[in-house]
């Protein structure tokens, strides 16, 4: 028996990722010190080469989109949302013309619905900077279709782990699931040397949680706010930059987690994680 199906490689199970997206358009402008974001940029640029295959599509969860219920971008040609302020004019002219994937958006809503999670499509919304800034480094050709998934406004860690559990089947369909946020995100702490040991303490706990057995990992992440220095690193009602990690960890299912990048930026430790 011959045919196209025999000549097309079966999708390989994709990992899930939690990556830092930096500060606004930091990778595409001058900064002081000039090398502040260089190591993070190099890490993001190197991610594609570490994957088992080129993704068929990307589902990205950004810390910059919160809704009452889960929403997914369903436009075939999403525009960019320049949701940062006070940066150089050229950073508002950045482009990332990656196509959307309406069929994948519909599948996401179906998977979430099957898990009892309310979700809907948004045919108007584009990619915010938590999506297009890291993707410009990770997949600069902008040819891989992207669907962005929102966080829930209740900021419930368990709920976001469950969102990840619901969409885990996409990993077997060649879809890369990416959480885009920051492992430390206290705006008052950046640049303050007093936060160096504080961020280190939480980062150690977070890395230990990620590398725990899957069942233990879910329990620890569900109660992340009980970790040492947790609320100094993510103040109350401002943990939206950590929650994309919960989605990535939930989608990992039984896949192990590991720390794949850490750096000291603006006196704080920032890390990235991979599952599978």
pLDDT tens per residue across span 96-150: 999 999 999 999 999 999 999 999 999 999 999 999 999 999 999 999 999 999 9
Per-position b or e across 72-89, b if 16+ CB within 10 A of its CB: bbbbeebebbbebeebee
Q: pLDDT tens, 196-228?
A: 999 999 999 999 999 999 999 999 999 999 999
pTM for the predicted model, two decimal places? 0.95
| Mean local confidence (pLDDT), 71-99 | 98
- CATH homologous superfamily for 12-275? LigB-like (3.40.830.10)
- C-alpha 87/C-alpha 91 separation (Å) is 7
pLDDT classification of 63: cutoffs 50, 70, 90: very high
pLDDT classification of 7: cutoffs 50, 70, 90: low
């Amino acid at each position: 028996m011959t045919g196209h199906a025999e000549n097309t490689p079966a999708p390989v199970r994709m990992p899930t990722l939690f990556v830092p997206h930096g500060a606004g358009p930091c990778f595409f402008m001058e900064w002081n010190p000039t090398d502040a974001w260089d190591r993070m940029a190099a890490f993001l640029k190197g991610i594609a080469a570490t994957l088992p295959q080129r993704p068929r599509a990307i589902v990205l969860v950004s810390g910059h989109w919160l809704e009452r219920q889960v929403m997914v971008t369903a436009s075939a040609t999403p525009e960019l949302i320049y949701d940062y302020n006070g940066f150089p004019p050229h950073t508002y002219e950045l482009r990332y013309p990656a196509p959307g994937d309406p069929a994948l958006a519909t599948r996401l809503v179906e998977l979430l619905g099957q898990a009892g999670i309310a979700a809907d499509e948004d045919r108007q919304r584009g990619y915010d900077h938590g999506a297009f800034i890291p993707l410009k480094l990770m997949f600069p050709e902008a040819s891989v279709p992207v669907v962005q998934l929102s966080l829930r406004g209740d900021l419930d860690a368990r709920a976001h782990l469950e969102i990840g559990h619901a969409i885990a089947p996409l990993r077997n369909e060649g879809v890369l699931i990416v959480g885009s946020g920051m492992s430390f995100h206290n705006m008052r702490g950046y640049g303050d040397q007093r936060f160096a040991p504080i961020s280190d303490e939480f980062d150690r706990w977070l890395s230990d949680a990620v590398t725990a057995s899957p069942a233990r990992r879910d329990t620890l992440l569900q109660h992340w706010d009980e970790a040492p220095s947790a609320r100094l690193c993510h103040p109350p009602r401002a943990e939206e930059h950590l929650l994309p990690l919960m989605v990535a960890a939930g989608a990992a299912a039984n896949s192990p987690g590991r720390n794949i990048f850490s750096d000291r930026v603006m006196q704080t430790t920032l890390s990235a994680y991979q599952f599978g």
